[in-house]
Structure 1
Amino acid sequence: MDNRPQWGTRAGFVLAAIGSAVGLGNIWRFPAVAYENGGGAFFLPYLFALLTAGIPLLILEFTIGQKYRGSAPLSYARLSKKYEWLGWWQVAISFVIATYYAVIIAWAMSFAVFSFNLKWGDDPTSFLVGDYLQLAAPGEFGGIVPGVFIPLVIVWIITLGILFKGVKKGIEIANKIFIPALVILFLIIVIRSITLDGAVAGLEAFFKPDWSQIASGKVWVAAYGQIFFSLSIAFAIMVTYSSYLPKKTDLTNNAFITGFANSSVELLAGIGVFAALGFMASQAGVPVSEVVKGGVGLAFMVFPQIINEMPALNGLFGSIFFICLVLAGLSSLISIVETFVAGVEDKFKISRTKAVLYGGGLSALISLVYATRGGLNFLDAADYFINQFGVALAGLVEVIIVVWVLRELNNLQNHANSMSDIRLGGWWKICLGFITPIVLGYMMIQNIYINIKENYEGYPTSFLLYSGWGVAVLAIILGFVFMAIKWNKGTELEVPKDKGVSQ
């Protein structure tokens, strides 16, 4: 008997999937990656990567979750008991990401307030590192920073409060509010940005194609990396979310909608960010190339500088920008935490309230590490290693196990085709059987070589061994530890019988 909760509507699921995919990386990672890898020419490998890796992997994970109707560990256990550890590994990756992702949202929440009186002053970089984060040396914790701790508590209250409400009344309703609000607010930012002096120069820098870079393998790897990291693939989210789908639902169509919606937001972010960077460059009298940054630097150092120089309503513009970061972050954080809430709920057959309290509560407590004076250094190392040697490696292992070891692609294809308008054919098998594992394998070998050759960002080896490499390895170990724990007797390891639930 399948008593699993379900989405109230198809739109609810799609918005939740989009909410998970659309996160901080769309706003601060994509524009810089595109610019550094051929500008307008980057869109060709980017689109190719979306169609040959992004959407095929989304379809795969949607199908696994919907067919086997469980959290990632339960779905993989139902696929084959030997590979339950893969689900727990992906859940452990999500757990690590949740602990530091919440802190970045807390920063954005603080900066939304700071925007009203431009509290960061004339030197936003010094303000972020010194006044706000009070940054200590790598490896040092220092004390808790109150300015980070207070908004962090608010972030966790919102996130866990929504998760306590469940799938239909919590996650679905939250995303129906967050995603439309995010799109409307970001459109305001884009419209304001493109009306600034110098915006045209910024957009020209963003869109102008450098076709000479297309032949570079680095550009294609960057395109696949961006698609892979931005779609919430391989850290249990999409398997978990799709397990709440009705027995009859269009899986393939949902994957295409999610994939293209995510890419549309990335393109919109690129326009808004580069129009603003063009304005900043014109104000400083320098080329756009000198002001381009990605990641934390773009959001918390460059954008405050842009806000300072705006001719009017700069405080309002700043608060809207950081509220967008908060909304994008919250919709993703909710999905990330849901993966381990669902895993604990399935494995131990405890109530959802207890699962949220234990899983979410533990991640909230550990996130305090990143609210200390040394938090930025710990965050930087954990984020890099859990993505490069967690998410990317888990994706590679997932594809190899499902496609080549278990040879489940035909069964999954038949299942998806039985309920989808867009039928899967040879392209799907070729993408998952050959293109995706080859590209991910190449990325992994390259990453290992680079990180053995030189330390990430020049951090001390001793620091990276426990805050970077150690975190990535611990996630794998936890996968096997949780697999060794026996399932509660109430958990069926067979796929639940169809109750005739329809969409």
Structure 2
Amino acid sequence: MARSAANTAPAEREQWTGQTGFILAAIGSAVGLGNIWRFPGVAYENGGGAFLIPYLIALLTAGIPILFLDYSVGHRFRGTAPLAYRRIHPRAELLGWFQILLSFVIAVYYAAVIAWAGSYFVFSFGLQWGDDPQGFFLGEYLQVGEPTISTTLVSAVALPLVLTWAVILIVLALGVAKGVEKANFIGLPLLVLAFLALVVRAITLPGATDGLDALFTPNWGALTDPEVWIAAYAQIFFSLSIAFGIMVTYSSYRKRKSNMTSPGLVVAFANSSFEVLAGIGVFSALGFLAHQQGVGIADIEGLTGPILSFVTFPAVISQMPGGSLFGALFFGCLVVAGFTSIISILQGVSGSVQEKFGLGIRQSAVTVSAICAVISIALFSTTSGLLALDTVDQWANNIGVVTSAILMTLLLVWVLRRGEELRFHLNAVSTFQIGRWWNFLIGVVGPVFLAYMLIQKVVSLLTDGYEGLPTWYLITFGWGTIAFVVVGAFLMTATPWGRLGQEPFRPWPPYPPGTRRPVADEEASR
């Protein structure tokens, strides 16, 4: 006798309330700290206005295609990265855990930056950094010490970090629709409105046009430099939240019959639009700072990363009329942008643990948040926290995430030969159809650029080190991070699955086209 539909259909999954909820959550994930503190400096250093050409090409040939690849895997195989890849091929589960453990690592240190931004939001009202923003940030606030494994907690960082993890726990415990979606529904419009207010204020400051000229004046000669093109692909890749399990997880929460490609285009172009907006706001403010100091933009130090946000921008805020309000808006934006990103990162981790061990939503949220919080506080709220954070971030993103993307594209396109099936799936459920060119982009163009980036970075780290830090420190926090992810992926793959991982699963719609749809597959109608 045939098994009943109830016994063969995949387990009921949480779902977004609709397409708008998914789009807002996906944009919230993509728009993060890197949009504000990375893109403007990268564009300025790589050809100014001319950089937008390779940037757009990178978006169309790598960013959007790999974003679609993530969507297709999660939506067709109905799971977080480990479960979805397991359903493609049992041994592919290893890649899923590699991606999820990268998300785990990134979330652990990302929360510390959100805590810094929260502290600076409060500091803005009294301009507490005074006349020496760098001394305040590195000395009085973070109390940066030597590159050691410090156990000395900095209470000014630890307390807001505890609060950050408490809020994250609440959102994750509420689930996809009531927690993650609502957080983005509130946070994303708030972020956009606040940042628009910042930009409007910034472009009215004296010297703002000099900053915009510095950012957008094209250096056409830069287009012949291969490094500029690599920088463009790297920026697109790191800003879209692709290839480390986030979008696989998010797309798995969409109903079976859901348009996937058109929302993907909205997400990708919304993310890039925010980056350009961030560039306008940041360089208008930098133009004002240069005007006040009587120097050129090129003479200002700290045009990217934490130094831009927590040293250079406080210097701008201190010199402008109404600086307290401007500062509160800026750091408030950092908090919201960081928060909408970190909950997407941790939803993948929490969802994976939930599926692997058969836990409830709240059990999984509490378990993951508690473990992350303990590690986060122990490592990144100490006097060596900034150095550890910078080192872990360098290896997790430039080595871990790039490696993950290369493995993902090669595995799906060349080893398991699933490229055409995944393209079929996207076209079967979506209005915007993709042609065979997609297989070429994800199977050739993407891996080639990513492999060049990876080789270049590995050689640089092995020969030149990083930021003058001792070799033992780089091995511990840099290469040690990659070792942790690899070993953890093997251990999690070897751990037995609960019920969900043992259930029969039939992807829908059937492939190849024309295959008879199984009567038992109830979820196909959802």
CA distance in 1, matches of 2:224, 2:41: 19
The one-letter code sitting in structure 2 at the alignment partner of 1:446 is Q
Q: Secondary structure in 2 aligned to 1:456? A: coil
> Is contact 2:257–2:429 with CA below 8 Å preserved after alignment?
yes
CA offsets 1:148-207 (integer angstroms, 9 cap, x no match): 011111111111101100001111111000000000000000000000000000000000
| Alignment partner of 1:475 out of 463, 485, 508 | 485
CA distance in 2, matches of 1:418, 1:338: 27
CA distance in 1, matches of 2:96, 2:522: 23
| Alignment partner of 1:413 out of 395, 415, 423 | 423
Most deviating of 492-501 and 288-297? 492-501
CA distance in 1, matches of 2:39, 2:459: 24
CA distance in 2, matches of 1:243, 1:142: 40
5+ residue gaps in structure 1? none
Change (3 A) 1:103 1:460: same
What is the aligned partner in structure 2 of residue 179 from structure 1? 188
| Alignment partner of 2:273 out of 261, 264, 277 | 264
The one-letter code sitting in structure 1 at the alignment partner of 2:153 is I
The one-letter code sitting in structure 2 at the alignment partner of 1:238 is M
| Alignment partner of 2:115 out of 101, 106, 120 | 106
What is the aligned partner in structure 1 of residue 175 from structure 2? 166
| Alignment partner of 2:523 out of 452, 477, 499 | 499
CA offsets 1:4-23 (integer angstroms, 9 cap, x no match): 01000111001101111000
CA distance in 2, matches of 1:493, 1:320: 51
> Is contact 1:77–1:493 with CA below 8 Å preserved after alignment?
no
Q: Secondary structure in 1 aligned to 2:148? A: coil
> Is contact 2:356–2:500 with CA below 8 Å preserved after alignment?
no
Q: How does 1:88-167 map to 2 (within 5 A)?
A: 88-167=97-176
CA distance in 1, matches of 2:405, 2:263: 20
CA distance in 2, matches of 1:34, 1:469: 29
Q: Residue 501 of structure 1: CA displacement? A: 4.6
CA distance in 2, matches of 1:411, 1:351: 32
> Is contact 1:247–1:498 with CA below 8 Å preserved after alignment?
no
What is the aligned partner in structure 2 of residue 341 from structure 1? 350
What is the aligned partner in structure 2 of residue 277 from structure 1? 286
**2:391 pairs with 1:367:** no
CA offsets 1:301-336 (integer angstroms, 9 cap, x no match): 0000000110x2110100100000000000001011
The one-letter code sitting in structure 2 at the alignment partner of 1:370 is F
> Is contact 1:133–1:373 with CA below 8 Å preserved after alignment?
yes
CA distance in 1, matches of 2:242, 2:342: 14
Q: Residue 489 of structure 1: CA displacement? A: 3.1
CA distance in 2, matches of 1:150, 1:347: 32
Please report the TM-score for the alignment, with normalisation by the length of structure 2: 0.94
The one-letter code sitting in structure 2 at the alignment partner of 1:391 is V
CA distance in 2, matches of 1:34, 1:400: 30
**2:261 pairs with 1:249:** no
The one-letter code sitting in structure 2 at the alignment partner of 1:381 is T
Query: Identity of counterpart residues, as a percentage?
Result: 47
> Is contact 2:212–2:283 with CA below 8 Å preserved after alignment?
yes
What is the aligned partner in structure 2 of residue 10 from structure 1? 19
Change (3 A) 1:482 1:114: same
**2:36 pairs with 1:27:** yes
Q: Residue 500 of structure 1: CA displacement? A: 4.7
Q: Secondary structure in 1 aligned to 2:47? A: coil
CA distance in 2, matches of 1:72, 1:493: 17
| Alignment partner of 2:241 out of 232, 239, 242 | 232
Change (3 A) 1:461 1:493: farther
CA distance in 2, matches of 1:455, 1:421: 48
**2:458 pairs with 1:434:** no
Change (3 A) 1:142 1:359: closer
Q: How does 1:206-217 map to 2 (within 5 A)?
A: 206-217=215-226
CA distance in 2, matches of 1:500, 1:297: 50
Most deviating of 316-325 and 492-501? 492-501
The one-letter code sitting in structure 2 at the alignment partner of 1:129 is L
Q: Secondary structure in 1 aligned to 2:12? A: coil
Count of paired positions: 501
CA distance in 1, matches of 2:524, 2:480: 46
The one-letter code sitting in structure 2 at the alignment partner of 1:96 is V
> Is contact 1:136–1:142 with CA below 8 Å preserved after alignment?
no
CA offsets 1:365-384 (integer angstroms, 9 cap, x no match): 10011001110011010000
Most deviating of 122-131 and 350-359? 350-359
What is the aligned partner in structure 1 of residue 96 from structure 2? 87
CA distance in 1, matches of 2:146, 2:119: 23
| Alignment partner of 2:313 out of 280, 289, 303 | 303
> Is contact 2:355–2:500 with CA below 8 Å preserved after alignment?
no
CA offsets 1:328-373 (integer angstroms, 9 cap, x no match): 0000010111111011111111111111111121011100110011
CA distance in 2, matches of 1:228, 1:486: 33
Please report the TM-score for the alignment, with normalisation by the length of structure 1: 0.98
Change (3 A) 1:493 1:46: farther
Q: Residue 470 of structure 1: CA displacement? A: 0.7
CA distance in 2, matches of 1:416, 1:316: 46
CA offsets 1:422-468 (integer angstroms, 9 cap, x no match): 11102211111110010001111111111111111110000110111
Runs of 4+ in structure 1 off by over 4 angstroms are none
CA distance in 2, matches of 1:467, 1:498: 47
CA distance in 2, matches of 1:413, 1:498: 23
CA distance in 2, matches of 1:222, 1:287: 24
Q: Secondary structure in 2 aligned to 1:117? A: coil
> Is contact 2:64–2:268 with CA below 8 Å preserved after alignment?
yes
Q: Secondary structure in 1 aligned to 2:499? A: coil
CA distance in 2, matches of 1:62, 1:5: 16
CA distance in 1, matches of 2:416, 2:324: 56
CA distance in 2, matches of 1:270, 1:81: 44
> Is contact 1:15–1:179 with CA below 8 Å preserved after alignment?
yes
The one-letter code sitting in structure 1 at the alignment partner of 2:385 is G
CA offsets 1:366-425 (integer angstroms, 9 cap, x no match): 001100111001101000011111111101111010011011011001110011111110
Q: Residue 490 of structure 1: CA displacement? A: 4.2
Q: Secondary structure in 1 aligned to 2:254? A: coil
